[in-house]
Amino acid sequence: LITFTIFGENYRAEKGMTWSEWVASEYNTGGYSLNDSGYVCLGTSNCVEEYDSDEPISGLVEIKANTMYSHGDYVSG
């Protein structure tokens, strides 16, 4: 398993897992989901992005081990 951080919370995933696979897995203990645009979000606008980035993470992207992710205010549409 790999570890990563979202907004200060530690999470685990299987190596090579994409974000959409993680969202549908038991490792998603934070309640994240994919929004209508395919981005990983907590609620409707708190989307996951790499630290110091303003681009939301697509569910098709592979999770990077030992990476800090944050929340960004992204609203689709």
Name the more confident of 75 and 54.
Answer: 54
Inter-residue contact 73 to 54 (CB < 8 Å)? no
Short-list 12, 8, 2, 17, CA closest to 70 = 8
pLDDT at 44: 73
Short-list 16, 18, 47, CA closest to 32 = 47
Name the more confident of 71 and 32.
Answer: 32
Nearest-angstrom CA–CA distance, 21 and 30: 14
Q: Indicate whether 1 pLDDT > 80.
A: yes
The whole-number average pLDDT for the span 73-77 is 59
Q: Is 48 left (phi over 0), alpha (psi -120 to 50) or beta?
A: beta
pLDDT at 76: 52
pLDDT at 75: 57
pLDDT at 36: 87
